[in-house]
Structure 1
Amino acid sequence: MFLTGFAALAVMPMLPLAARDLDGVALYPLVAGAFVAASLLGGVLGGTWADRAGARRPLTAGVVLTVLTLLVSATSPNIWQLALGRFADGVAAGLVAVSVNAAVGQSYPDRLRARALALMSACWIVPSLAGPPLAGLVAAWWSWRAVFFGLAGLTVLPAAAAVLLLRGATVDPATGADAQVPVRRPALPAAAAVSAAAALTQYGVSAWDVPHAVCAAAGLALLVAFAPRLLPAHTWRAGRGLPATVLLRALTSGAYFTLEAFVPLMLSTARRVPGVVTGLAFTGAALAWAGASWVQGRAQGRVARHRLVAFGSGVMAAAVALAGLCTLPAVPAAAAVSSMVLAAAGMGLAAPSLTLLSLRHAPAGGQGYASGAMQTSQNLGQTVVLALASALFSAVSAVAGGQLPPFACAFGLLVVPALAAAALASRTRAHSRTPDGGRPPAPEPAPGTAEASKG
């Protein structure tokens, strides 16, 4: 996870340089969006695979594929191979993310899961501090290709560990693939359609003209048609249990990552602050996320998980409101930096809590299914909320003019999913387990089972 975070945070600053060097700046939105779109497909593949054969195999495939995709990107002669490399890297990232969450659910007792997830968050602290600066230095001294080659060399270590150390691991029949539970698995064609839809949507909102509008409309139509097939029944109605948990992952992720995209843009364009200030915002956000995640790990058994979700979502809503205030010229630009840090603290409380709730609500032997649904929901939330905010931003820019009013409207939109997540948090509430770790009798069938799907 440490090297995964290092790769993720070091690659992103290099993509604009690579696109310019390959004469593909016009296709940069496609390159940037390919990763998120492909991680949808990787999440579905990883979730199904983890339930059938345990988390070790998709984890091994994910880290090995990461090495290969970094090499594909490093040797790109044109922008299309770079886009292909980023797409394949997205598939690998989806496999790894879902496998890690499924492994936590399959391997750790409930009392240790919160701390395990806090450790995963802590693994991103050093990469957030050192990854972007080191990548920038390597690119300045050599080239952006050296960054990709170097990351591939570093990632060989966890790839070798996964292949050599995990190949002899066994799956616990009580929690792994041997448990015969009728979980409704998402179809791979639907996952591929949703991945293509996400890429079309992200490309479509990158400009304001007829071809881009057609791509955005087509992408949204495909999302409406196929996305429900990848999620538990009644997700869009916030059905109690896993459906509501999955929906809240989409709402919180959409609000946070869209805020993370718009605040740096506002700082660099409308407020004209130095680049180092924007860098401090990302560093502070990473530290705040990890710190809040540590707090939720220590709160295990003391505070109900759904209350942490509600509080974290409320903190995010306050952060979005603070970012909106920063569109007033009288408000210092430093307040916008504080909004990113505050929002990250809210996510540090809400995101691990939602992951734990999804594992609690998952049907027996379905931790991979629940983790895949959460990964899919997160990426869908990012795609849809960012698309809506970008469309609103572009429309206000064309009508009202000026630099700050479009940001004010975009931030106003982001308050809605954050407040909705806080209001719906009680629907994610999990019943306490019995002393031996089992489940108490449920009042209704678990979402995704055959009994629940009959309705």
Structure 2
Amino acid sequence: MEGLFSRTYRAATAGFAAVMFLTGLAALAVVPTLPTAVRDLDGVELFPLVAGCFVAASLLGGVLGGHWADRSGAHRPLAVGMVLAVLTLLVSAASGSVWQLAAGRFVDGVAGGMIAVSINAAIGQAYPDRLQPRALALMSACWIIPSLVGPPLAGLAAEWWSWRAVFYGLAALTALPALAVVAVLRRRSWQPASVPVQDDTPRPSLMVALAVSAGAALGQYGASGWDTRHLLFAAAGLALLVLFVSQLLPTGTWRAARGLPATVLLRGLSSGVFFTLEALVPLMLVTGRDVAPVVTGLAFTGAALAWAAASWVQGRLPQRTPRHRLVVVGASVQAAAVVLAAVGSLPGMPPVIAASSMVVAASGMGLLAPSLTVLSLTHAPHGRQGYASSAMQTNQNLGQILVLGVASAVFNAFLSAGSNDHAGYAAAFGLLLVPGILAAVLATRARSS
């Protein structure tokens, strides 16, 4: 790590690490407080919207940050994203209605998308090739402590004081690092190694990104009820996604064209598998097996540690190691995790089998995620690291929304047909084998030359 923490990169790396740590803390800590918040604001029926609009808005934030990073360097959208994150935490804390809380979470999602894309673009613009895998691994590791302590501390704060204290506290914690990052990145000593240039790669329209984010948010609102109004909103959201999503991604993404399109597709497939497991496995354990919440908490803790450990390992492999082979290994590990979850859903199986699937899947993601990011930066057109990072972030979020939606639909279909929970969960987990195996098969199309 000597090179990574050399005089040239020490300040920037410390700033990025602080940003990622606090971004992870804010993203993970507020989640346990949202049910209490919507209850106090008399908006329980809108919980799907409040919980999901952060991810929906990050689609817009990712495109906005990517545009800005390519145009004038990644330091500006990163600084603005940090300041915006502080302000939106204050807006959410002061919410007088559930709609204000949803608006705060939506704008916070925009800021989160800008921050994530800007950091990846900054690493691609300013760091030597040999340091990029280690820098990206460090960014992943910065989520370890937030994933371990964020949710329980937020839960205690909400119980002892109020859910508003969580938002106010996160705003106070984020303010000082935000100012520090702005100061560091304004120095002339820190400049991107490459100068953004014009090329023929089509740039996604910000209006298109706004339409996609709105479509995702409408879909989340539609999921909050089953009457005609909600179904119409869900249909409108789906229509917007179908019409505009392809314009945010590289040409050839859906047919896995070699290079950046295939890399972007793989990110969506792998993220969809992992985050669907993280949503359905705890739901099954708590509602179907009466497992104590502490057990699911330990599963999340184990998954966070497994992700960080696998990311650490890939960051220390020889530079000549083909990244697409790590993607194959990671996708295969994810497929094994899906099998574990399906087996764990069968009657009579110990809950630890299903819980362990989260840890195994996280190990696969620890190999996959940094490797795919490195490949995306390798395939990015000259001066367009922001565009590549934006496309990766966009399809990651889409993968989470779409794969989870399809798996949930399969689960509900089995329940509607009169099947028991075990059959529904087994079918939903079995469906996840499709994107997992597809990612392993298509990994060679993302290989670098």
Q: Give the TM-score band, short-chain normalised.
A: over 0.9
Counterparts of 1:176 and 1:6 in 2: how far apart (Å)? 33
For 2:269 and 2:397, locate their aligned partners in 1 and report how far apart those are by CA, in whole Å.
10
- Residue among 106, 109, 112 paired with 1:87: 106
- Map 1:282-301 to 2 at 5 A: 282-301=300-319
Residue matched to 1:437: none
CA distance in 1, matches of 2:205, 2:188: 28
Indicate whether 1:316 and 2:334 are aligned. Answer: yes
Residues 1:100 and 2:119 aligned together:
yes
Quote how far apart the aligned CAs of 1:130 are: 1.1
Q: 2:408 aligns with which of 381, 390, 393?
A: 390
The equivalent residue for 1:440 is none
Asked if 2 retains the 8 angstrom alpha-carbon contact of 1:54 and 1:171, the reply is: no
Q: Secondary structure at the match of 1:13?
A: helix
Offset of 1:304 from its aligned partner? 0.8
Task: Name the CA distance, whole Å, in 2 between partners of 1:429 and 1:245.
Answer: 9
Aligned to 1:265: 283
C-alpha RMSD over aligned residues: 1.4
Aligned partner of residue 273 in structure 1, secondary structure: coil
1:279 is aligned to 297
Question: What corresponds to 2:17 in structure 1?
Answer: none
Match of 2:202 among 169, 175, 184: 184
Alpha-carbon distance, 1:126 to partner: 1.1
Q: Map 1:412-431; keep pairs closer than 5 Å.
A: 412-431=430-449
2:395 pairs with 1:377: yes
TM alignment of 1:198-209, pairs within 5 A? 198-209=216-227
Q: Which runs of 5+ in 1 are unaligned?
A: 432-455
The answer as to whether partners of 2:126 and 2:193 remain within 8 angstroms in 1 is no
- Deviation, 1:125, is 1.0
Which whole-Å CA distance do the structure 1 matches of 2:225 and 2:421 have between them? 17
- Deviation by residue 1:269-307 (Cα, 9 ceiling, x = unmatched): 011100000100110000000000001101142421000
Cα distance between partner residues in 2 of 1:389 and 1:207: 18
Match of 1:144 in 2: 163
CA positional deviation for 1:163: 2.1
Q: State whether residues 262 and 445 of structure 2, in contact with CA within 8 Å, keep that contact through their aligned partners in structure 1.
A: yes
Q: CA deviation at 1:109?
A: 0.9
Amino acid aligned to 1:99: S
2:49 maps to 1:18? no
| Post-superposition offset of 1:170 | 7.0
Q: How far apart, CA to CA, are the structure 1 residues paired with 2:155 and 2:242?
A: 39
Deviation string, structure 1 residues 29-68 (Cα, Å, up to 9, x no partner): 0111110110000000000100111010000011000000
Are 1:69 and 2:88 counterparts? yes
Answer with 324-333 or 149-158: which moved more: 324-333
Task: Give the count of matched residue pairs.
Answer: 430
1:86-137 deviation digits (Å, cap 9, x = unpaired): 0000000000000000011011111111100110111111111111111111
Aligned to 2:232: 214
Q: Distance in 1 between matches of 2:119 and 2:96?
A: 33
Identity %: 67
**1:174 deviation in Å?**
5.8
User: 2:382 is matched with which residue?
Assistant: 364
In structure 2, C-alpha distance between the alignment counterparts of 1:246 and 1:53, rounded to whole Å: 24
Amino acid at match of 2:168: F
The equivalences for 1:146-185 within 5 A come to 146-169=165-188, 175-177=194-196, 179-185=197-203
- How high is the TM-score relative to the length of structure 2? 0.93
Instruction: Determine whether 1:133 maps to 2:147.
Output: no
TM-score, normalising length: structure 1: 0.92
CA contact (8 A) 1:312 1:349 kept: yes
1:342 aligns with 2:360: yes
Indicate how the Cα distance of structure 1 residues 7 and 173 shifts in structure 2: closer, same or farther if over 3 A, else same.
closer
Would the alpha carbon gap of residues 216 and 412 (structure 1) be closer, same or farther in structure 2, given more than 3 Å must change? farther
1:40 aligns with 2:59: yes
Name the residue aligned to 1:234.
Answer: 252
Residues 183 and 372 of structure 1, relative CA distance in 2, 3 Å threshold = same
| Contact persistence 2:137–2:311 (CA under 8 A) | yes
Per the TM alignment, residue 329 of structure 1 is displaced from its structure 2 partner at its CA by: 1.7
- Secondary structure of 2:432's aligned partner: helix
Q: Residues 114 and 300 of structure 1 are in contact (CA less than 8 Å); yes or no, is this contact kept in structure 2?
A: no
Quickly say closer, same or farther: Cα 1:210–1:325, change in 2 above 3 A. farther
Consecutive unaligned residues in structure 2, runs of 5 or more: 1-19
> Matches of 1:276 and 1:402 in 2, distance apart?
26
User: Does structure 1 retain, via aligned residues, the 8 Å contact 2:306–2:363?
Assistant: yes
2:214 alignment counterpart: 196
Q: Distance in 1 between matches of 2:416 and 2:255?
A: 35
Secondary structure of the residue aligned to 1:400 is coil
Structure-2 separation of matches of 1:19 and 1:277: 26
2:47 to 12, 22, 28: 28
Report the counterpart of residue 118 of structure 1 in structure 2: 137
Q: How far is 1:207 from its partner?
A: 4.6
For residues 90 and 105 of structure 2, what CA distance do their matches in structure 1 show? 11
- Give the AA of the match of 2:280: F
Amino acid at match of 1:422: A
Corresponding residue to 1:8 among 27, 45, 52: 27
